[in-house]
Amino acid sequence: MPSTFTQAMATLGAAAEFPNTYVAQWKQRTGGKAIGLFPMNFPAELAHAAGVLPVIIQEDREPITAGRNLLGEFNCGYTRNLADQAALGRLDVYDGFFQADHCIQLLGAVDVVREDEPDKPVYFGQLMSSMGDEWTFPQVLEKMNDFRVELEKFTGRAVSDDDIANSIEIFDENRRLMRSIFDQRRHGDAALAPDQIQVLVKSSMIMDKQEHTELLREVMAEHGPVPRDDRIRVHLSGHFCHAPNPELLKVIEDSGAIVVDDDLFHGTRYVSTDVGSTDDPMAALASVYLRRNSAVPCPTRVQHDVDWDRFLVDSVIASGAQGVIVLMAKFCEPHMLFYPELRKALEARSIPLLLIETEHEGLPLESIRTRVEALVERIRRKQLTTV
């Protein structure tokens, strides 16, 4: 008989692997509507408060076919895959689409969705990405209010402040639990492999939050802490919008490395910051947008006084990671722009670094294995010489 842990992981894994099936079943079960969200900053709490299921659309595993003729081959894999999903009807399960981020490649993909789902609302409320201006906060608050109004129009029902506060608490609880898993990993627990952690995060982006929280509790209750072995400790950095390929994560751990921390969107970044209890939930949602970027800086934002490079070095020191593997979605412009700053900061601290570019299809896993093994070897030798 499978353990509760195994059963819960299987349920979460199914949602992560087949989001559309989960969404269709949820709609059937509840009679509710589901909206597709584009990463990375839409306030899903508001949608939850409006009674709809907010789902962050995931990159799927299908090869890109029709999407090839909709966006350039030099767009990131996530946006090309989105275009493909839209063109081939794989987004039909959603009743509407909402977006808050203005990455230029994502805007292109959303235009394709708009074109292919002409009868459904596609709403873009641009959350300002220049974070430090005196008008940033009022602007962000205004956008949050726009989202609320649009969601009210979409569902045909008013959303009260109490509804929003309630949803915030539900989301915060889920984040707290997930964070505790990340904390444990940082402090020496090797119980969950990176691909399993990714299942937890991905499913949290898809499922009804309370349902997810229950399953998460089961996962946590059943797995006892497992002490780390002597594999080389690495930090995974980068990879926005979509999850790194699980086979790639396996290759990293099979090559003699163990992941102890990350700043991935499908990881620490997603759960980094709570909204907190408040009398003014709209202001709280606006403020968390800003606070999240201070907690885990993101190069898609412009904030002069926070540094992703400094954050990375501090994280590495805090977790005791011995090296950094940068996972860069090929063609991801914000990441390409910031990468030299990371490289400089890590080199200054003599922290070994490996850059792996990822693609939607055709990932050269064997050559990646060789490169990760070389990194591991380099770190081992460094260890020996410093002993």
Residues that bind ligand SF4 (CB under 6 A): 76, 78-79, 103, 105-106, 240-241, 300, 329, 332-334
Contact 254, 315 (CB under 8 A): no
Tell me if residue 217 falls in helix, strand or coil: helix
Can you list the pairs that 271-276 forms with residues at least 24 positions away whose Cβ atoms lie under 8 Å? 271/174, 271/175, 271/178, 271/179, 271/182, 271/201, 271/204, 272/179, 272/296, 273/175, 274/172, 274/175, 274/176, 275/45, 275/168, 275/171, 275/172, 276/168, 276/172
Q: Could you say which of ligand SF4, other proteins, none residue 78 binds, taking C-beta under 5 to 8 angstroms by partner kind? A: ligand SF4
Residue 72 binds other proteins, judged by CB under 8 A? yes
DSSP per residue, 123-166: EE----SBTTSTTHHHHHHHHHHHHHHHHHHHHTS---HHHHHH
Contact code string over 339-358 relative to other proteins, x by CB under 8 A: xxx-xx--------------
Contact 227, 220 (CB under 8 A): no
Alpha-carbon gap, residue 137 to 159, rounded angstroms: 22
Alpha-carbon gap, residue 286 to 298, rounded angstroms: 17
Contact code string over 139-168 relative to other proteins, x by CB under 8 A: x-----------------------------
Instruction: Return the sign of the alpha-carbon dihedral for residues 363, 366, 369, 370.
Output: negative
Q: Which of these ranges, 50-58, 70-78, 317-325, 362-370, lies near other proteins under the rule CB under 8 A?
A: 70-78
- Counting Cα atoms < 13 Å in the Cβ hemisphere of 147 gives 32
Residue 298 binds other proteins, judged by CB under 8 A? no
Q: Could you say which of ligand SF4, other proteins, none residue 379 binds, taking C-beta under 5 to 8 angstroms by partner kind? A: none
Q: Could you say which of ligand SF4, other proteins, none residue 82 binds, taking C-beta under 5 to 8 angstroms by partner kind? A: none
In this structure, what is the dihedral angle of CA atoms 107, 113, 116, 122, given to the nearest 10 degrees?
A: -100
Residue 311 binds other proteins, judged by CB under 8 A? no
Residue 21 binds other proteins, judged by CB under 8 A? no
User: How many residues belong to the site for other proteins (CB under 8 A)?
Assistant: 45
Residue 128 binds other proteins, judged by CB under 8 A? yes
Instruction: Return the sign of the alpha-carbon dihedral for residues 140, 209, 235, 330.
Output: negative
Among 338, 356, 358, 363, binds other proteins (CB under 8 A): 338
Minimum CB distance to ligand SF4 smaller for 22 or for 240? 240
Contact code string over 90-119 relative to other proteins, x by CB under 8 A: ------------xxxx-xx-xxx-xx----
- The distance of closest approach from Cβ of residue 215 to ligand SF4 in the complex, given in angstroms and rounded to an integer, is 28
- The distance of closest approach from Cβ of residue 10 to ligand SF4 in the complex, given in angstroms and rounded to an integer, is 29
DSSP3 helix / strand / coil % (the chain, rounded to 5): 55, 10, 35
Task: Cite the beta strand spans of 163-241 per DSSP E.
Answer: 232-238
Minimum CB distance to other proteins smaller for 170 or for 332? 332
- The distance of closest approach from Cβ of residue 214 to other proteins in the complex, given in angstroms and rounded to an integer, is 36
Q: Could you say which of other proteins, ligand SF4, none residue 240 binds, taking C-beta under 5 to 8 angstroms by partner kind? A: ligand SF4
| Distance, first Cα to last Cα, the chain | 48
Q: Which residues contact 225 (CB under 8 A, 6 or more apart)?
A: 184, 188, 189, 191
Q: Which of these ranges, 2-10, 88-96, 129-137, 214-222, lies near other proteins under the rule CB under 8 A?
A: 129-137
Residue 302 binds other proteins, judged by CB under 8 A? yes
Residue 75 binds other proteins, judged by CB under 8 A? yes
52, containing H or E segment: none
Residues that bind other proteins (CB under 8 A): 69-72, 74-75, 102-105, 107-108, 110-112, 114-115, 122-126, 128-130, 133-135, 139, 299-300, 302, 304, 330-331, 333-334, 336-341, 343-344
